[in-house]
């Protein structure tokens, strides 16, 4: 297994990627769609303008990893190594991803498109969804205490089956909280 530290990788394709340990590395403009990352670990790394759609992340380590303007469709993050798992997504497309049962305290999903994402049974306490489109996203027995939904749109979550104490919402988000009861706002 190769070790990489403080390196920048640009315009790589899936066939160029080497399984290994990456510390403080940057990936810019890479196409890793359908790549099997099994056996790799990423610590303090940044992915910028990359495509990771349908990537396989079974047992992959992600510690303090940032994704900026990336396309990440259908990735099962719930199969990644859960130890010290920490993400920041900014202006990413995360449609059809799975975060089932993960500890994602204080993770950031900023200005992302997140269609049909599954956060069932995840711990998202203190997480931020500011400015994200959460159409069809599933929150089922999810810990959303102190989560920030300001400027987020199209979310629907049931306060009776999710923990929402201290979470922040805009007035425009009330329909997403009250929809279960058929209450219309405005």
Residue 19 within any structural domain of the chain: yes
- In this structure, the answer to whether residues 73 and 103 fall within a common structural domain is no
Domain that holds residue 115: 99-186
What's the CA gap between 55 and 14, in Å, rounded?
10
pLDDT > 70 in the chain, percent: 92
Domain count, the chain: 2
Q: Which residue has the higher pLDDT, 181 or 172?
A: 172
User: For the segment 33-52, what is each residue's pLDDT rounded down to a tens digit?
Assistant: 999 999 999 999 999 999 99
- Residue 159 falls inside a structural domain: yes
Q: Is 67 helix (H, G, I), strand (E, B) or coil?
A: strand
One domain for residues 172 and 125: yes
Is residue 24 a part of any domain in this protein? yes
Span 90-135, pLDDT tens digits: 999 999 999 999 999 999 999 999 999 999 999 999 999 999 999 9
Residues 127 and 184 in one domain: yes
Task: Say whether both 117 and 67 belong to one domain.
Answer: no
Q: Given a cut of 70, is residue 53 above it in pLDDT?
A: yes
CATH of the domain at 169: 2.160.20.80
Angstrom distances, CA of residue 59 to CA of 14, 84, 136, 163: 18, 12, 27, 28
Q: What is the pLDDT of residue 127?
A: 97
């Amino acid at each position: 297994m190769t070790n990489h530290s403080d390196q920048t990788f640009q315009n790589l394709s899936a066939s160029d990627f080497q399984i290994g340990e990456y510390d403080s590395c940057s990936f810019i403009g890479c196409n890793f769609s359908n790549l099997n990352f099994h056996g790799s670990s990423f610590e303090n790394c940044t992915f910028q303008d990359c495509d990771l759609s349908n990537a396989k992340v079974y047992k992959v380590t992600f510690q303090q990893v940032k994704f900026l303007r990336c396309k990440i469709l259908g990735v099962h993050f719930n199969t990644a190594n859960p130890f010290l798992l920490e993400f920041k997504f900014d202006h990413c497309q995360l449609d059809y991803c799975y975060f089932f049962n993960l500890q994602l305290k204080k993770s950031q999903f900023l200005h992302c498109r997140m269609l049909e994402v599954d956060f069932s049974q995840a711990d998202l306490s203190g997480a931020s969804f500011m400015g994200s489109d959460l159409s069809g996203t599933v929150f089922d027995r999810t810990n959303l205490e102190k989560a920030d939904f300001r400027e987020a749109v199209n979310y629907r979550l049931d306060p009776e089956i999710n923990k929402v104490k201290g979470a922040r919402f805009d007035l425009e988000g009330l329909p997403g909280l009250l929809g279960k009861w058929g209450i219309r706002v405005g």
